[in-house]
């Protein structure tokens, strides 16, 4: 871990009752929230233990030694390494090497009995970071991905990534696409910026409700607040229910419900989940107001270490790559053909601007007559990296790309889902 004082540290804030929200916090479980901060301070954990930065670095030194043993074990990881993050012929998929710093680390502490204890059961005692507040759909996704987990709300997507990187959380569950609103580009950019691995996916049906304070009638609502996507997904229903109400964007659906309860707003309603109504003591004016009953959001589960791919169940693999300039305009076709020839189904293709190289001159050097945007391409395909056909496909893709990184090879979400599902979210 780098010991830079200007780095974005994470601090906890306990969601204890205040004068404004004391009346409804009895329904909200006591949680720990993660927010951005820029202070050099000791870390505080939910169990009351506070350690200094030197103690933190000592713990990381132990973990780094475990990582080194994993890197030297070889096997399937070496095959994936041949295509991950290569540039100019060099390959490096394994775990990101620890950069040397001038910081003098404290002596490595000996292992204790807790270090040798067995790993927890699936979802048990895991700390899972998500963006939003209790009652958000992301919290429901965290609960579905890891039942009985300790969900940690974060105020930003980037903070959820950092919470896992700094060992404050064990996993992060973040949305990447909605069946109506499309891709969440912010999280695709963060996947490339951070070095976390995709270890799974979950899909959550979006079930919107119109919420207000107890006793408020729909005719008295003069303003409706929610996330812009939620307002767009309930546009026609709101035209019927509240035709004269103004609509205002809020950063989160559940946060909109919390805001109404905390400020005792009798003229405002929120579009959020039924769980948000329960947590913040709001009444449901209208249930299931989404315009499309097939509204689903897909979430990714992220971890510091990748899982070992298998072939005993359906797997999906996510990659990101940049095409080589000198290969011509047919590079994308050649890349896609590498999968088609091996009968590998692609489930998603997403392009994002190349931040470091936004433009490319087409033509004879400085006399080029056109400039094209440079893109990074995100591709999801239905195959496990344990399958030879997937390994061979990526080996061929490597020939046409200047950068290629495997974001993760993980089990597909095969949970049965009904169009009339009213699952709590």
Catalytic residues: 297, 299
Residue 250 in tokens? 């809020």
- The answer for residues whose C-beta is within 8 angstroms of residue 342's C-beta and 6 or more apart is 389, 390, 392, 393
Rounded CA separation 344/111 (Å): 45
Beta strands in 25-68, from DSSP E residues, in sequence order: 32-37, 43-44, 50-51
Within 13 Å and on the Cβ side, how many CA atoms surround 172?
A: 32
- The closest alpha carbon to 93, from 352, 399, 395, 420, belongs to 395
The end-to-end CA distance of the chain, in Å, is: 36
Pairwise CA distance, residues 405 & 277, whole Å: 42
Mark residue 88 as left, alpha or beta (left: phi above 0; alpha: psi -120 to 50; beta: remaining).
left
Strand partners, 151: 128
């Amino acid at each position: 871990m780098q010991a830079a004082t200007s780095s974005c540290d994470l601090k906890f804030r306990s969601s204890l009752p205040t004068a404004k929200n004391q009346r409804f916090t009895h329904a909200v479980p006591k949680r720990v929230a993660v927010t951005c901060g820029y202070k050099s301070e000791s870390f505080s954990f939910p169990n009351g233990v506070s350690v200094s930065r030197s103690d933190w670095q000592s713990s990381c030194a132990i973990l780094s030694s475990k990582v080194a043993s994993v890197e030297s074990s070889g096997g399937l990881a070496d095959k994936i390494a041949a295509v991950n993050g290569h540039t100019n012929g060099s390959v490096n998929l394994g775990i990101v090497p620890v950069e040397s710093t001038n910081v003098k680390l404290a002596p490595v502490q000996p292992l204790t009995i807790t270090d040798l204890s067995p790993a927890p059961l699936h979802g048990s005692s895991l700390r899972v970071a998500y963006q939003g507040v209790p009652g958000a759909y992301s919290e429901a996704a965290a609960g579905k991905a890891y039942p009985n987990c300790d969900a940690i709300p974060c105020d930003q997507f980037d903070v959820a990534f950092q919470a896992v990187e700094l060992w404050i959380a064990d996993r992060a569950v973040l949305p990447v696409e909605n069946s109506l609103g499309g891709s969440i580009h912010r999280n695709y950019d963060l996947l490339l910026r951070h070095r976390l691995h995709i270890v799974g996916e979950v899909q959550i049906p979006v079930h919107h409700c119109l919420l207000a304070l107890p006793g408020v009638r729909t005719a008295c609502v003069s303003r409706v607040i929610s996330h812009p996507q939620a307002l767009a997904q309930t546009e026609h229903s709101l035209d019927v229910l509240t035709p004269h109400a103004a609509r205002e964007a809020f950063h989160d659906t559940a946060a909109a419900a919390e805001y109404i309860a905390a400020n005792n707003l009798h003229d405002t309603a929120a579009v959020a989940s039924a769980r948000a109504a329960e947590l913040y003591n709001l009444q449901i004016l209208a249930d299931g107001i989404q315009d499309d009953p097939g509204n689903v959001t897909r979430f990714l589960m992220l971890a510091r270490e990748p899982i070992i791919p298998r072939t005993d169940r359906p797997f999906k693999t996510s990659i990101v790559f940049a095409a080589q300039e000198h290969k011509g305009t047919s590079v994308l076709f050649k890349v896609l053909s590498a999968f088609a020839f091996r009968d590998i189904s692609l489930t998603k293709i997403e392009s994002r601007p190349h931040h470091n190289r936004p433009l490319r001159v087409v033509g004879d050097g400085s006399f080029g007559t056109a400039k094209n945007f440079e893109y990074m391409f995100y591709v999801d395909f239905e195959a496990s990296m344990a399958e030879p056909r997937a390994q061979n496909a990526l080996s061929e893709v490597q020939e046409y790309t200047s950068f290629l990184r495997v974001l993760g090879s993980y089990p597909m979400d095969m949970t049965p889902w009904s169009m009339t599902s009213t699952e709590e979210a």
